[in-house]
Amino acid sequence: MLNTVWQQHKLAISTALYLLAITLPSTLISSDGFSKALYGLLIVLAVVNRARVYFWLLFPFFVLSHVALYYALFYQLPTDISFWFLMFGTSTAEVADFIARANKPFVLIAYVAYAIIGWFCYKQMTGQYFNRPNARGRWALIALILIPLSYAPRNTNLRDYALDVYRHFRKAYPQNLVLGYMAADLEVQKLKDLVRQPPNFAPNLTPNIAQYPATYVLVIGESARRDRLGLYGYQPNTTPNMSAQPDLLVFQDMVSYGYNTSTSIPYLMTKAPDTEMKPSFLSVFKQAGFKVYWLSNQAKYGEFDSLISSYAQSADVVQFLNTHSYTMTTPDNFDEKLLPLYQQALNDKADKKLIVLHLYGSHPDFEKRYPASANKFASAYDNSIYYTDRVLQQILNGLQQHQAMTGLVYISDHGLALGECGEVDGHIDAKNSYEVPFFMWFNPLWRDKNPEKYQHLIQAQPKAVYTGDLFDTLTDIAGIRFAQQALHRSFASASFQRVPRMVKAATAEMDYDNSQTGAGCHLVAK
C-alpha cells in the first residue's frame, strides 16, 4: 500500500522536499518569509510545469541553500541587501577569514544532507505537474503573481517599484538573494549619482584661518585593536615612534561603528549607516576649497564596485595601488608603497589640502602585512602594528617639514578577535573589535591659530568618543562652517555633547556602552 501511495505521489513528495530544502533558511527567519518564498516558487512551478526543467531552474539556489541556512542559523539574518553590501565592500581576504571561522562540522553535515536530498529529488522529479495546460490549479498558482504586481500603481518609477518588490520578499530565500543583489546595485547606483552631484553644503572657512595654507592628513588604519598598541600601555611596545612623539593627542576611548571595513568606513565618513547613502566629509572639504586626495593600498574592485571606492571617487585625486583583491595577497604589498604618492600630494602647490591614506595595516594574514625588517616580535599581529607605527612616523616626518598649518589624524577602521573567540583570529562582533586607536597631531602654527580648539581636544582625550563624531570634528578642525554641521558632535568644540555610541553587531544595532560579548563571541545587550 505504501508503495502504491509513493508511486502515485512521488513527484509531489520529492518536489515538496526539494522546496523545503530551498526555503528552510526563510523558515528560520520568519513564517512570513517562508510563505512568501513558497508562493514565489510555486508561481515558477506553474509556469514551467515540467518537473525536470523546474529542478534545474532552481538548482543554483538549492546549491546555495546551505550557505543561506548557515547565515540564517548563526547570524539570524536573511540574505538580503545587507548581505550584498557586505559582499560589495569586503575583500576576498575577509571572505576567506569568514570561511575560516565557519562551524565546519555543521557545514559538512549540511553539505552531505543537501547532496543526498539533491540526488534523491533529481531521480524522482520527472513528468509534468499539470496534465492539462489550462488546469484551474495551474492558473490559480500563476495568479499569485498579482501580489507583487500590486505594488506597481503606488510607485512612480521602476526603481522604486523594484525596491518595493524587494522589501516584500526581503525575508524570503531565494527571492531575497536575487532581489537583494538588484536592490544593492540600485543603491550603489544612487551613491554614484550622489558622488557625482553631491548636495551643496555651501561651506565657508572661519575668517581667522581662511588666509593660511593648510594641509590635513587622515590615515585610516586596518584591523588595529587599541589594546595592542604600546601607545596605550601594551607590552612589548609595538609603537615606539608614536609613543616618543611629543604633542600627540591620544584618545583613550574611541569606538568604531562597525566590526568590518564595509560598515565601519562609510559610517566614519558620513556619520550614517552604509545603507542610508549619505554624502561624506570629502564633499564638504572639496566644496570648501580643499584639494582632496584619496590614496589607498586597499583594493578598488572597479570604479564603483564597492561602497568605499564609490565614496573615494568624490576626491580630486584618487589612486588605488590594487585594482582587485587578489593582488593584495602578493608578498610585497606593504603600506610604504603609498609614501611616494603621499609625498607628491604634499608637494602639490594647492593652498589647502586634505590627504586621506587608507592602509592595509593589520588585516589578516598578519605575516603578509610587513617586510622582514619589521619582524621584531613573536606575534605576527604585533609586528604588523610595529610596521604601521614605522609608516606613520614617515608620514608625520613629511608633514612636520611642511610650511603650512598641518594636522595628522590616525584611526583604525575596526579591531579584530585575537584568540579570545577560539583558535581563529578575525572579524567578529566581539566587544573589543570596536575598540580602536585614535590619535592626532598638530604643528605649532595650527595650535597657535586654534588655541581654544586645541584645548578642547586635549580635554577630550579621556572622553568616550565615536567614529560618528568625526564628520563634524574634522570639518571643525579645518575651520569649515556649514548649515548642516552639528558642532555638538565635534570634540574640538566647547559645545560637544556625548551621544549614545550605537554600533552594528551581527544581528542588530545596539548601544556599545550597554552591551557585552555574549555566547558565540557576539555582541549582546546587557
The DSSP 8-state label assigned to residue 174 in this structure reads T
pLDDT of residue 98: 66
pLDDT of residue 306: 61
CA distance 414 to 88: 18
84: Cβ–Cβ under 8 A, 6 or more apart, which residues?
180, 181, 183, 184, 185
Q: Tell me the CA distances in angstroms from 214 to 96, 249, 294, 343, 353, one per residue in order.
A: 41, 19, 17, 15, 6
Total domain count, the chain: 2
- Domain assignment of residue 90, given as a range: 1-193
pLDDT of residue 92: 62
Q: What separation, in Å, do the N-terminal and C-terminal C-alpha atoms of the chain show?
A: 57
CA distance 353 to 5: 78
pLDDT of residue 97: 63
pLDDT of residue 148: 80
Same domain, 114 and 253: no
CA distance 465 to 514: 15
Contact present, 173 and 79 (Cβ < 8 Å): yes
Please name the residue ranges forming H helices in 217-367.
240-243, 261-270, 281-287, 307-312, 339-347
For residue 203, the Cα-to-chain-centroid distance in whole angstroms is 29
Contact present, 260 and 94 (Cβ < 8 Å): yes
Element (H, E) at 13: helix 2-29
Bridge partners for 357 per DSSP: 219, 295
Same domain, 102 and 174: yes
CA distance 226 to 231: 9
User: Taking Cα atoms as reference points, which of 493, 492, 423 lies closest to residue 101?
Assistant: 423
pLDDT of residue 9: 83
Does any domain span residue 506? no
Contact present, 27 and 81 (Cβ < 8 Å): no
Does any domain span residue 78? yes
Amino acid identity of residue 200, one-letter, is N
Cell numbers describing residue 281: 566629509
Of 193, 226, 256, the residue that ends a domain is 193
Write down the residue that cell numbers 568604531 correspond to: 256
CA distance 450 to 327: 43
Class of residue 154 by CB neighbours under 10 A (exposed 0-12, middle 13-18, buried 19+): exposed
Sign of CA dihedral 194, 195, 196, 198: positive
CA distance 290 to 356: 12
Same domain, 240 and 215: yes
Element (H, E) at 196: helix 175-196
Write down the residue that cell numbers 588666509 correspond to: 211
Same domain, 491 and 401: yes
Same domain, 98 and 169: yes
- Give me the CATH number covering residue 404: 3.40.720.10
Does any domain span residue 201? no
pLDDT of residue 302: 37
Cell numbers describing residue 515: 552591551
Of 193, 215, 245, the residue that ends a domain is 193
Does any domain span residue 200? no
Does any domain span residue 518? no
Longest dimension (CA), the chain: 95
Same domain, 260 and 153: no
Contact present, 442 and 407 (Cβ < 8 Å): yes
Same domain, 189 and 210: no
Does any domain span residue 10? yes
Successive 10-residue mean pLDDT values, the chain, 526 residues: 73 92 89 87 90 94 88 77 64 64 83 93 91 81 82 66 78 84 73 74 93 97 97 98 97 96 91 84 96 90 57 91 57 90 96 97 89 96 98 96 94 92 76 96 97 98 97 98 96 96 91 91 90
Same domain, 376 and 275: yes
Same domain, 241 and 140: no
CA distance 409 to 269: 13
Same domain, 404 and 290: yes
Same domain, 175 and 290: no
Same domain, 172 and 242: no
User: Taking Cα atoms as reference points, which of 117, 19, 30 lies closest to residue 72?
Assistant: 30
Does any domain span residue 511? no
pLDDT of residue 497: 96
Residues in the chain: 526
Would strands 352-358 and 204-205 be described as parallel, antiparallel, or unpaired? Answer: unpaired
Cell numbers describing residue 212: 593660511
**What's the Rg (C-alpha) of the chain?**
27
